[in-house]
Amino acid sequence: MKKRTLGLIVYFILLMLPIYWMLNMSLRTNADILSVFSLYPRHFTFENYMKIFTDASWYSGYINSIIYVSLNTVISLATALPAAYAFSRYRFIGDGQMFFWLLTNRMAPAAVFLLPFFQLYSTVGLIDTHIAVALAHCLFNVPLAVWILEGFMSGVPKEIDETAYIDGYSFPRFFTTIFIPLIRSGVGVTAFFCFMFSWVELLFARTLTTTSAKPIAAIMTRTVSASGLDWGLLSAAGILTIVPGALVIWFVRNHMAKGFAMGRV
C-alpha cells in the first residue's frame, strides 16, 4: 500500500513539472524568462494576466471557446445517449457497420479536409458562428461519446430494463429516471472527454472562424511576433486555458470515482 502511494506521488510530481514551469513563466516578464534560469519567479508580476483580462481580443477568445465547447458537449451527449443505448441493447440492420463507421470519422487527417469543410460551412452560411465550430467538433466527439457510453451501458444488466418495462415505465421515463442515473459515472467521463477534445482542437476552430467566434487557442498563436514569442504572455494564457476544464472535471469527479453500484435497483 505504501509503495503504491509513493509511486503515485512520484508520477504526479513528474506530471506537474511542465505545468509548474508554465506557471512559473506566467508570473515573470518575457525579458526575465529569456535572460536567467530560475526555479521560481524572483520578480513576481501579474502583468501577463492583467493583459489577458483587460484586452478584449484576449478574453473574448475564452468566451468564444467556452460557448462553442459547451454547445458541443450538450449536443454530443444529447444525441449520443439514445444512440449508445440502441447499440448496447438492440440488434438492428447495419448496427456493427454503423458503430464502426462512426469511429472512422476521427481518422481523417484534418489538414486536407479543412478546405472542403470551409466550403461546406460557407455554403450553409455558418462561417464565424459558434454553432459552426460546435457542429464541426461533433464529427469527432459524437462518435467518441457513443463509444464510451456504449461501454458503460453494456455493463448494466439488461434485467434492469426488463423489470422497469414490466413495471410500466415508458422508454423516455425509464431512460431519464433510472438508466442515466445508473451510468452517471460514464456520463461524467464522457462529458469531460467531449469538453476536453473540443477545447484543445485548433485546426477546425481556426478555419471556421474569423473574428466573432475566434477560439483562444487561435488567439494564442498571435503571441508569435517579429520579435519572437512572448513566453510570459503565452504561459499565462496557457494556465488560463486549463482552468475551465479543471472546473469541469472537478464537478464530474465524484461521478467518475463512484462507478455504479450493481444491485441497487
Partner 1 sequence: MAQIDLEEIAHAYMADPREVSDYALKRIHNVWQDGGAYALLGPSGCGKTTLLNVISGLLTPSRGRILFDGRDVTRLPPEKRNIAQVFQFPVLYDTMSVFDNLAFPLRNRGFNEKDVKKRVHEVADILDLAPFLGKRAAGLAADAKQKISLGRGLVRRDVAAILFDEPLTVIDPNLKWQLRCKLKEIHEQLKLTFIYVTHDQVEALTFADKVIVMYEGEIVQIGTPQELFENPVHTFVGYFIGSPGMNFVPFALENGIARVGDAEIFLGERLAGVAGTATGELKLGIRPLYLEVHGKKVDQGVEARVKSVEDQGSFKILTAIMGGHPVRARLAEDEPVPQETAWLRFPTDWIRLFSDDRLL
Partner 2 sequence: MDKWEDNRAWFLVLPVFIIVAFSAIIPLMTVVNYSLQDIFGPGQRVFVGVEWFKEVLSDKRLHEALVRQFIFSGLVLLIEMPLGIIIALMMPKKGWGASLSLVMLALPLLIPWNVIGTIWMIFTRPDIGLFGAGINALGIAFDHTASPSDAWVTLMLMEVWHWTPLVALLAYAGLRAIPEAYFQAARIDGASAWAIFKYIQLPKMRGVLTIALLLRFMDSFLIYAEPFVLTGGGPGNTTTFLSIYLVKVAVGQFDLGPAAAFSIIYFLIILLLSWLFYQVLQNVGKGEA
* Interface with partner 1 (CB under 8 A), residue from 94, 125, 168, 263: 263
In the window 178-197, what residues touch partner 1 (CB under 8 A)? none
* Interface with partner 2 (CB under 8 A), residue from 2, 44, 54, 90: 90
Task: Report how far residue 41's alpha carbon sits from residue 29's, in angstroms, rounded to the nearest whole number.
Answer: 9
196 interacts with partner 2 by CB under 8 A = yes
Site for partner 1 (CB under 8 A): how many residues?
Answer: 4
- Grid cell, residue 134, equals 460546435
Q: Cell 467518441 maps to which residue?
A: 144
In the window 42-71, what residues touch partner 2 (CB under 8 A)? none
91 interacts with partner 2 by CB under 8 A = yes
164 interacts with partner 2 by CB under 8 A = no
Span interacting with partner 2, options 41-49, 52-60, 246-254, rule CB under 8 A: 246-254
Q: How far is CA 93 from the centre of its chain?
A: 32
224 beta partners: 229
In the window 148-167, what residues touch partner 1 (CB under 8 A)? 157, 159
Q: Are 46 and 224 contacting, i.e. CB atoms less than 8 angstroms apart?
A: no
SS3 (DSSP) at 45: coil
25 interacts with partner 2 by CB under 8 A = yes
Going by C-alpha positions, the residue among 70, 65, 106, 114 that lies closest to residue 217 is 65
> Looking at beta carbons only, is 43 or 253 nearer to partner 2?
253
Burial of 13 (0-12, 13-18, 19+ CB in 10 A): exposed
* Contacting positions for partner 1 (CB under 8 A): 157, 159, 262-263
